[in-house]
């Protein structure tokens, strides 16, 4: 799996730790760090990093992304503005599972000011293990979302 990870200044601490976890995961082929660079927490806005991640997914350059801001909400909203992207904030295992199995989300977001680091790390690992099944009953819902977006 080709992944991207990014944050704004409010999510920089978690981004760095989760990025290292991803690099050590055998399921991950590559990790593209969208910033901000260490020592430059204001180099990214949550909007710029989220839109960039979405554009990379739509272009086929990466498969999924994990984004972190203060709440996870801002990056999710911004990423969802990119046509073809389904992003969600999740802070529990069930939501992480359903983000893929029911909604085929390509972007998972976290809030560094909302959940603990160990939970965020665990949820990121869980998320990597899920694959959307196009033969599931949820496929029709995802298709309806895509059709609406393509109008």
For residue 44, pLDDT over 90 is answered with: no
Q: Confirm if 110 and 123 have CB atoms less than 8 A apart.
A: yes
pLDDT-based confidence at 38, cuts 50/70/90? confident
Name the residue with higher pLDDT: 42 or 145. Answer: 145
What is the value of pTM for the model shown?
Answer: 0.95
- The whole-angstrom separation of Cα 9 and Cα 112 is 10
- The whole-angstrom separation of Cα 106 and Cα 101 is 11
Percent of the chain topping pLDDT 90: 92
Residue 67 pLDDT: 98
Selected catalytic residue, list 22, 68, 69, 100: 69
- Which tokens go with 46? 């949550």
69: annotated active-site residue: yes
At 106, is the secondary structure helix, strand, or coil? coil
Which CATH superfamily is 2-150 part of? Sugar-phosphate isomerase, RpiB/LacA/LacB (3.40.1400.10)
pLDDT-based confidence at 36, cuts 50/70/90? confident
Q: Across residues 15-43, what is the average pLDDT?
A: 92
For residue 41, pLDDT over 90 is answered with: no
pLDDT-based confidence at 39, cuts 50/70/90? confident
- Kindly list the domain boundaries of the chain, sorted by start residue: 2-150
Summarize pLDDT for 99-127 with one digit per residue, the tens. 999 999 999 999 999 999 999 999 999 99
- The whole-angstrom separation of Cα 146 and Cα 151 is 9
Q: Across residues 31-57, what is the average pLDDT?
A: 90
For residue 42, pLDDT over 90 is answered with: no
Percent of the chain topping pLDDT 70: 100
């Amino acid at each position: 799996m080709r992944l991207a990870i990014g944050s704004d200044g409010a999510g920089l601490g978690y981004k760095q730790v989760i990025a290292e976890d991803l690099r050590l995961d055998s399921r991950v082929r590559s990790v593209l760090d969208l910033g901000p660079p260490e020592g430059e927490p204001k180099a990214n806005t949550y909007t710029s990093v989220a839109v960039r991640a979405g554009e990379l997914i739509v272009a086929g350059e990466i498969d999924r992304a994990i984004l972190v801001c203060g709440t996870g909400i801002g990056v999710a909203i911004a990423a969802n503005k990119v046509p073809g992207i389904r992003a969600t904030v999740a802070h529990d295992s069930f939501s992480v599972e359903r983000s893929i199995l029911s909604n085929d989300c390509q972007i998972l977001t976290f809030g560094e000011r909302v959940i603990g680091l160990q939970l965020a790390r665990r949820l990121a690992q869980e998320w990597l293990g899920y694959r959307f099944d196009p033969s599931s009953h949820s496929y029709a819902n995802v298709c309806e979302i895509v059709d609406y977006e393509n109008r």
